[in-house]
Structures are given as C-alpha cells and as structure tokens.
Amino acid sequence: MTITEHKNGDVVVLNVEGKILLGEGDVQLNKKIAELIGRQETKILLNLEQVPYMDSGGLGEIVRSYTTVKREGGQLKLAGVTSRIKDLMVITKLHTVFDIFDNEAEGVASFA
C-alpha cells in the first residue's frame, strides 16, 4: 500500500493505493495521520479510489484515524470509496459515522 499526499486549498488529501490490511497498511495510515496532526493539519480527506480491498484491521485503522483527528478538533472525510468497501461500511454501520463523497472535488468542497 502507498499513501501520497497533496494539498487542495487548506485540505490535505491522502491518496491511498492498494489494500489496507492488518499489520501492513494500517500501520502506514496510522503514522501518516500522526504526522499530519503533528503539523497541525486537521482537515483531511482520505481518497480511497485505488483501494480494492480492506480487512477488519484496515477498517479499524480508519476508525482510529477518524477518532484521532476529531479529538484534535479536526475532520477526516472519505472520498472515492469503492462499492466493495462501501458495502462493508453499510454492514458495519460505519456509513453513519463518516462523511463519504463520490470524489475528491466533492469531499474538498464539503470542508468549506
């Protein structure tokens, strides 16, 4: 899994590519979120367009990231969620917790 970062206005967009799995991608995501919080970046959009699969560890890390950012007074939102991951979020009722957008542009606009 790879994570690339870019700014879109005052929003940090994290483009995630590859599977988010326990012991692999979840650790990378945790470190990246901690780094952003350390830089006082608290408007974060997680772009998951290139994430074909996520296991329970990956899902848990996204929830943990959301909680960490929220505790710091920020917001973490999701964009480009694939149908497979969206189904997983519906089954676990997490779609009621996260703001989920079809694409980066909609997600970034929601922070305004």
CATH number for 78: 3.30.750.24
- Residue 97 phi, psi dihedral angles, 5° rounding: -95, -45
* Nearest by Cα to 18 from 85, 76, 68: 85
What whole-number distance in Å separates Cα of residue 107 and Cα of residue 57? 24
Amino acid at 9: G
**What DSSP state is assigned to residue 93?**
T
pLDDT of residue 56: 86
Calpha distance 7→65 (Å, rounded):
18
Partner residues linked to 15 by β-bridges: 4, 47
Number of domains into which the chain is organized: 1
Distance of CA 41 to the CA centre of its chain: 14
What confidence score (pLDDT) does residue 20 get? 87
Q: What is the pLDDT of residues 31-69, one digit of tens each?
A: 999 999 999 999 999 999 999 999 888 899 999 999 999
Residue 23: pLDDT band (50, 70, 90) is confident
Find the domain containing 69 and state its range: 2-109
Q: What SS3 class is residue 62?
A: helix
Whether residue 106 contacts residue 79, with contact meaning beta carbons closer than 8 Å, is answered with: yes
